[in-house]
Amino acid sequence: MYAAKHRGHSSQHQRQHVDEAVMGGVANGHGHRPAAARPAPRRAAKLKILLVVIATNLVSVYLFSGASLSVHLPASAPRIHLWDSAALLRDLNATRAALAGARAELAALRAQCNASSHLLESVLAGLGAVHGDTPEARDFGGWPEEPTGELKLAIEPHRLPLGFHANFGTDELFPGLGFACRNFQEELAQYMAYDAGAECPDDDALALQLALKGCEPLPRRRCRARSPAGYVEPAPLPRSLWSVPPDTTVRWALYTCKNYTCLVQRARTRGGAYFCKDCFDLEGKERRRWQADNGGPGFSIDSVLRSRAPGTVRIGLDIGGGTGTFAARMRERNVTVVTTTLNLDAPFNRFVASRGLVPLQITLMQRLPFADGVLDIVHSMNALSNWVPDAVLEAALFDIYRVLRPGGVFWLDHFFCLGPQLNATYVPIFDRVGFRRLRWKAGRKLDLGAERNEWYVSALLEKPMT
């Protein structure tokens, strides 16, 4: 009893002292509690810090224990597991499969719509026939008659066996066929008239004429290309670079000359309108090309390579490279060059291949078969000149710009034109493409007479780094 009263009296006495201290502090102008009252907030802050540390440790133990933390979404939404990669992969695969299924259903619906459309056309045609209507001419996609056989195989789409494919963005594959092929349907039908599985007919000249007319690319064929009789292995490198291959490497029935001796002698005879007349004479003028950087309109290979950092010119393209001598010279300098050439009454492609180089048979109208920014150098000698329509030339130059890497160079070699054309037509085209001039040389072209006022231009043009 006494103890209780004593404790109550003591508590009352303590409260009285505290109230007096507070009042005294206020009376003295202090807006805070005295030092004796501060430990309570410190203990609360320490308690809070302790709780935060404990909670953090618990969460860390939970997460690193391998448990799966899921975000709760509506039942209709896919579950995304933030910490379980296997579950996330399963969800992504399920979503991909569902998307592929939806695309397959869309392709099936498209096929059903096409079938329904054909059925409706048949019904309408039947009703028209009953009423005596004159049937309209059938449309076969621009062809005068419905394609059959190998021609049909070459021009119509082919349905993918597994349906829609995301990489193609369609459920069908369309054969590659030049737009201009529709203008030469009789020739294309003749080209595709062969026995499937047998030897291909001797129609290389027909194929070349179709390509030169713009029917490029030609469709693929299901026949075996013929090989030369008595074929022998080519000479080994590096001897093959400067040796004429054996005659048995060519099927000569396609050409005016029937052996390489005839082609070599063309360079030493007067007259005759032959493409690249002296290209096959590897011991004559062809052997001396690009060896010297003299006062003429051309450059030497070594001077061009010196304009670049050592070893940075590694791969390139020679447009209209004839028998591949430019590529051979670059091969000697550890540069790989692909040569575009055409079999214009001579086996240019096979000759290039026999030298151990890479031939590519495409015309000037075709887009270069390279990705953007992959080549270190592009060279062209005589292939690009004033015989090319201006719009075609400009498109070709932009395509060359496209395939060159930043800092790559275009070597325009012996471009020829009439004097008034140079500044009025061609210099503005070069400027529009955006090349930076490294070297530029112009000189008179006198082989057909000074009165013609023809000029050669050789230029080394760089694709800017930015």
DSSP 302-326: HHHHHTS-TT---EEEEET-TTTHH
The residues that bridge with 410 in the sheet, in sequence order, are: 378, 461
> How much is the pLDDT for 43?
64
Identify the domain boundary among 168, 198, 213: 213
- My answer on whether 176 and 303 are in the same domain is no
Query: Are 306 and 404 members of one domain?
Result: yes
H helix and E strand count, the chain = 14, 9
* Whether residue 307 is found in the same domain as residue 198: no
101 in a structural domain = no
Return the H-helix or E-strand segment holding 339. strand 336-340
Residue after which a domain boundary falls, among 213, 231, 258: 213
Find out whether 261 and 252 touch, Cβ atoms under 8 Å: no
- Strands 172-173 and 158-159, by their bridges, are antiparallel
The answer to the question of residue 106 being in a domain is: no
3 state DSSP class of 441: strand
Phi, psi of 375 (to 5 degrees): -100, 145
Which tokens is 360 given? 């590519």
Which pLDDT does position 257 carry in this prediction?
A: 94
Shared domain check, 306 and 208: no
Q: Which residue, of 213, 230, 255, is where some domain finishes?
A: 213
Is 451 found in the same domain as 360?
yes
SS3 71: coil
For residues 318 and 451, state if they share a domain: yes
Can you tell me the distance from the alpha carbon of 117 to that of 109, in angstroms, rounded to the nearest whole number? Answer: 12
Contacts of 118 (CB under 8 A, 6+ apart): none
First to last CA, the chain: 97
183 with 305, same domain: the answer is: no
Q: Are the C-beta atoms of 134 and 175 separated by less than 8 Å? A: no
Residue 47 resides in a domain: no
Tracing tokens 């054309």 back to the chain, one arrives at 421
Does a structural domain hold residue 74? no
Q: Record the tokens describing residue 341, joined without a space.
A: 């050439």
Residue 97's pLDDT is 79
CATH number assigned to the domain comprising residue 448: 3.40.50.150
- The C-alpha angle with vertex 233 and arms to 229 and 237, in degrees rounded to 5, equals 150
**What does the alpha-carbon distance between residue 86 and residue 320 come to, in Å, rounded to a whole number?**
55
Element (H, E) at 6: helix 2-27
In this structure, are strands 315-319 and 375-381 parallel, antiparallel, or unpaired? parallel
- The model's pTM: 0.70
User: Which of 257, 236, 107 has the alpha carbon at shortest distance from 172?
Assistant: 107
Domains in the chain, number: 2
H-type helices in 162-258, by residue range? 185-191, 204-212
| Residue 444 pLDDT | 87
Are 308 and 397 within one domain? yes
Torsion angles phi and psi, residue 35, rounded to 5: -60, -30
> Tens place of pLDDT for every residue, the chain, 466 residues?
444 444 444 444 444 443 443 344 434 444 444 444 445 556 666 666 767 667 666 656 555 554 444 445 455 555 555 556 677 778 878 887 787 777 777 767 776 776 676 677 677 667 766 776 655 555 556 666 777 888 888 888 888 888 888 887 888 888 888 888 989 999 999 999 999 999 999 999 999 999 999 999 999 999 999 999 999 998 999 999 999 999 999 999 989 999 999 999 988 887 667 888 899 999 998 999 999 886 678 899 999 999 999 999 999 999 999 999 999 999 999 999 999 999 999 999 999 999 999 999 999 989 999 999 999 999 999 899 999 999 999 999 999 999 999 999 999 999 999 999 999 999 999 999 999 999 999 988 887 788 888 999 999 999 999 8
Q: Is residue 442 part of a domain?
A: yes
- Which pLDDT does position 164 carry in this prediction? 83
Asked, for residue 142, whether it belongs to a domain, the answer is no
Pairing type for strands 404-418 and 158-159 reads: unpaired
377 in a structural domain? yes
pLDDT of res. 194: 94
Domain check: are 195 and 300 in the same one? no
DSSP run (H or E) holding 455: strand 454-462
What is the distance, to the nearest Å, from the Cα of residue 333 to the centroid of all Cα atoms in its chain? 27
User: Are residues 334 and 459 located together in one domain of the fold?
Assistant: yes
56 in Cβ contact with 69 (< 8 Å): no
pLDDT score for 25: 42
Decide if 12 is inside a domain.
Answer: no
Cα 151 to chain centroid, rounded: 28
User: Are 314 and 448 members of one domain?
Assistant: yes
- Identify the residue whose tokens are 């059959």: 148
Residue 422 structure tokens: 């140079």
Domain of 173?
Answer: 149-213
CA distance 207 to 176: 15
Domain match, 193 and 300 both: no
What does each C-alpha distance from 95 to 75, 82, 101, 106, 171 come to in angstroms? 15, 16, 10, 17, 19
Closest CA to 249 of 264, 266, 227, 265: 227
Looking at residue 352, its pLDDT comes to 98
Q: Which phi and psi angles does 191 have, rounded to 5°?
A: -65, -35
d(CA 151, CA 189): 6
DSSP assignment letter at 225: P
